[in-house]
A and B are shown apart, each in its own frame.
Chain A
Amino acid sequence: MASSHTRRARLCRTGATGAAAALLLLAGAPSAAAAGIAIPLEPSALAISLYPMENFGEEDFTPVQVQWGGSVVVQLPDGVDATDLTAELLLGEEEAEEPSRIFSTEPSTEMPPPGVLVVTDLGDGELEVEMPVDANLGDSMAILVMEGLTATMTGSELADTGLAYFFELDAAFPATQTVSPAVLVDSSVPCDQYESVCDGIPVTAGDELALSVPPTSALRAAGVGNLADAEVMLLPMDDEEYFHWESVGEEQYVGGELTPELPAETAAEVPPFAAELLAGSAPVTGGAPDAGGASPAAAGVLAADAAPVTAAGHELVEPTLVATGPYAATMTLPADTEAGSHALFISEGDGTPGSRYATTVVFLEVAAAPVVAPAAPVVAMPVNAGLRSDTGWIDDEASGSWPLLATGAGMLLAAGAGGVALARTRRTSGTCAD
Chain B
Amino acid sequence: MRGLRRRPGRRTLGAGLTALALAGATVLGVGLSPEPLVGSRALVESPAAPGDLPAAVVAATSGEAPRVVPTSPVHLLVPSVGLDLPLLAHTPRRGVINPPALTAGYWIEPYGVPAADPAAVDNTVYIAAHSAGRGSDGFDPLLSADRRDSAVSAGDLVQVSTPEGTADYTVERTARYDKDDLPDAVEVWEAVPGRLVLITCFQRAGARAATENLVVFAVAS
Contact = CB atoms under 8 A, between A and B. Distances in A.
Nearest to A386: B183
Nearest to A415: B21
Contact of A387 (B17, B20, B21, B97): B97
Interface string A380-394: 011111111111111
A325 B92 CA distance: 63
Contact of A408 (B29, B96, B210): B29
A416 B21 contact: yes
25 contacts: A383-B191, A384-B111, A386-B184, A387-B182, A388-B96, A391-B128, A391-B129, A391-B210, A392-B131, A392-B133, A393-B130, A393-B138, A404-B27, A405-B28, A407-B27, A407-B31, A408-B24, A408-B28, A408-B29, A409-B24, A411-B25, A411-B27, A419-B17, A422-B17, A425-B10
Given A387-B92, A391-B130, A410 B24 contact: yes
B97 A404 contact: no
B201 A400 contact: no
Given A381-B192, A405-B28, A389 B199 contact: yes
Nearest to A401: B31
Please give me the 4 A-B residue pairs with the lowest Cβ-Cβ distance, nearest first: A411-B24, A408-B28, A404-B31, A392-B201
A393 B203 contact: yes
Contacts of A395: 36, 132-134, 205-207
A392 B123 contact: no
Interface in B87-110: 92, 95-99, 102, 108
Nearest to A382: B191
Contacts of B183: 386-388
B123 to A, nearest CB: 7
Nearest to B201: A392
B186 interface: yes
Contacts of B102: 393
Interface string B12-31: 01101110110111111111
B57 interface: no
Nearest to A420: B17
Contacts of B151: none
Given A390-B97, A392-B203, A411 B23 contact: yes
Contacts of A402: 31
Contacts of B179: 388-390
B139 interface: yes
Nearest to B97: A389
A398 interface: yes
B207 A399 contact: yes
Contacts of A373: none
Contact of A384 (B30, B190, B209): B190
Which of A390, A413, A422 is most buried by chain B, counting CB atoms within 10 A of its CB?
A390
Nearest to A426: B10
Contacts of B97: 387-391
Given A390-B201, A408-B26, A400 B21 contact: no
Contacts of B23: 411
B155 to A, nearest CB: 23
Contact of B213 (A383, A391, A405): A391
Contacts of B138: 391, 393
Contact of B132 (A387, A389, A393, A425): A393
Given A384-B189, A405-B32, A418-B13, A391 B182 contact: no
B99 A411 contact: no
Interface in B155-210: 179-180, 182-186, 188-192, 199-203, 205-210
Interface string A151-189: 000000000000000000000000000000000000000
B25 A408 contact: yes
A404 B17 contact: no
A390 B209 CA distance: 10
B207 A396 contact: no
B34 interface: yes
A194 to B, nearest CB: 63
B98 A390 contact: yes
B137 A393 contact: yes
Contacts of B189: 383-387
Contacts of B124: 384
Which of A393, A404, A413 is most buried by chain B, counting CB atoms within 10 A of its CB?
A393
